[in-house]
Structure 1
Amino acid sequence: MTEQRRSQGRFVLLFGATGTAGSGVLQACLEDPTVSEVRAITRRPLGASHPKLREVIWKDFAHFEGIAEEFRGVDCCLFCLGTSARNVAGEDAYREIHVAYPLAAARALLAESPSAAFVYLSGFLTKRGSWMMWARVKAEAEDALATLGFLRHANVRPTGVLPMHPEGAERWLLAPLARVFPSLTIDRVELGRAMLRLGLDNAWDGSHTLESSELKAIARGAPLPAATKGEPHASAS
């Protein structure tokens, strides 16, 4: 990246900005003074306006050839797109969203911005051999992303992500739980700050996995942990 480009600020590509985690990541990006532009790839308008925000409406998340230019000249991609296993018809549909979509975005990013970082929002308890379908599928995505050859690729595995305005079970279960056991949850903007630091900080390289305690430390300005430099974390099997 040239010095002129650096003086213009950093450019972030964001997926999943309408979700609980993604909205927190978006807020963190917009609040960061080093970020000049957030390109949000989304199926529908976000209903938000900000001088740094540029929405890119796109329907086919398995193919990005038609908007390849949006992947060009960015510093990182923060991939927060996802849904609950309860919202899909079965494992194949879940795999399309959580494996095919991030892989398509990652390949498009490598083609247009090969030095950019890719940060994938995975999940707590993700594990290859898990009895939980969603955990196995997200582990599949983590492993596949690690083979693509990014200079910097991180999987982030937060525990419960607290929304801005908890409702339903989040209001009567997750929010009170966070007050008693703060280690079991992470604020959505706190998660966003951690993902953004991972995306923009060049002090680490390789492919790595970070758990909630590490994400909280990174969000609060602690040095990047030793686990994000040198040998990657070993994924649970």
Structure 2
Amino acid sequence: MKVVVFGGSGLIGDGFLQESLWAADVTEVVTVGRTPLDARHPKLRHVVHGDFLDFSAISDELAGADACFWALGVSSVGMDPADYERVTHDYTIAAARTLAAINPALTFVYVSGGGTDSTEQGRSRWARVKGRTENAIIATFPNGYALRPGFVRPLHGVRSRTPAYRLFASALPAIAPLLRLVRLAPVLMTSTVQLGQAALRLARHGSPRHVLENRDIVAAAPGL
């Protein structure tokens, strides 16, 4: 299985990358970004590309892909609405169109987040934009899926570049037992390993449910 990863330099993208590289049935992993990652592995190949609104120039590099794991994203806090929509929606759909032309049966796993608004009618702009992106992916691919994680716990040395995430991660050992006690952990918290395993499970077996909330992600990779 050939897997393409977008957003591999981020917390969730790195989880996708590591789990894919460790998977015995994954023969090749291609990352796409404006700069190559530092990671090196016999299965891994980096594709440097500058125009995230047009991926036609690298269609040959994407040929043969069986799955795409999309973890590229930004926070809407303090960001110009037009810029946020371009990164969140337009970049994703540009890649999806290129990949769909190459392989309509490809599994496309898009990471949005808890609170995403699939009705596209709510008051929160970021939730509407992510909901519109989810809907477009699911409409484009029969094997299109959206993952909506809550707080993502970094494992295996993965480290978030977001200060708030790093602060929460440092406090997590004290908080996690309480979350488990009140049975909120499956609702609020997942890990980079569980996200990677859930994406791979979708690529291997699919799912009748195209939008997976945090609880569904945890259920897809229990005990990790």
Runs of 5+ unmatched residues, structure 1? 1-9, 222-237
User: Which residue in the other structure is 2:178 paired with?
Assistant: 180
Q: Find the partner of 2:111 among 121, 146, 151.
A: 121
User: Which residue in the other structure is 1:138 paired with?
Assistant: 130
CA pair 168-16 structure 1, distance change in 2 beyond 3 A: closer
User: Which residue in the other structure is 1:7 paired with?
Assistant: none
Q: Which moved more, 1:109-118 or 1:123-132?
A: 123-132
User: Which residue in the other structure is 1:93 paired with?
Assistant: 83
CA pair 60-30 structure 1, distance change in 2 beyond 3 A: same
The 2-side partners of 1:177 and 1:130 are apart by 31
Q: Does 1:213 align with 2:215?
A: yes
Partner of 2:4: helix, strand, or coil? strand
Q: Is the CA contact (8 Å cut-off) linking 1:79 and 1:120 kept in structure 2?
A: yes
Percent of aligned pairs sharing the same letter: 37
CA pair 171-100 structure 1, distance change in 2 beyond 3 A: closer
Q: Find the partner of 2:195 among 185, 191, 198.
A: 191
The 2-side partners of 1:144 and 1:107 are apart by 10
The 2-side partners of 1:87 and 1:54 are apart by 34
Q: Which moved more, 1:179-188 or 1:77-86?
A: 179-188
AA at the equivalent of 1:189: V
The 1-side partners of 2:16 and 2:78 are apart by 22
| Map 1:1-237 → 2, pairs under 5 A | 10-86=1-77, 88=79, 90-127=80-117, 128-148=120-140, 150-163=141-154, 164-165=158-159, 168-174=163-169, 175=172, 176-181=174-179, 182-183=185-186, 184-202=188-206, 204=207, 208-220=210-222
The aligned length equals 208
Q: Is the CA contact (8 Å cut-off) linking 1:71 and 1:113 kept in structure 2?
A: no
User: Which residue in the other structure is 2:182 paired with?
Assistant: none
CA RMSD in angstroms comes to 1.9
Partner of 2:59: helix, strand, or coil? helix
Q: CA deviation at 1:73?
A: 0.8
Partner of 1:220: helix, strand, or coil? coil
User: Which residue in the other structure is 1:224 paired with?
Assistant: none
User: Which residue in the other structure is 1:4 paired with?
Assistant: none
Partner of 1:54: helix, strand, or coil? strand
Partner of 2:36: helix, strand, or coil? coil
Q: What are the Cα deviations for residues 62-119 of structure 1, in whole angstroms up to 9, with x where unaligned? A: 101110112211111111110111363x111111111111111111111111221111
User: Which residue in the other structure is 1:226 paired with?
Assistant: none
TM (normalized to structure 2)? Answer: 0.86
The 2-side partners of 1:121 and 1:11 are apart by 19
Q: What are the Cα deviations for residues 129-165 of structure 1, in whole angstroms up to 9, with x where unaligned? A: 33322111101111222222x2211011011112334
TM (normalized to structure 1)? Answer: 0.81
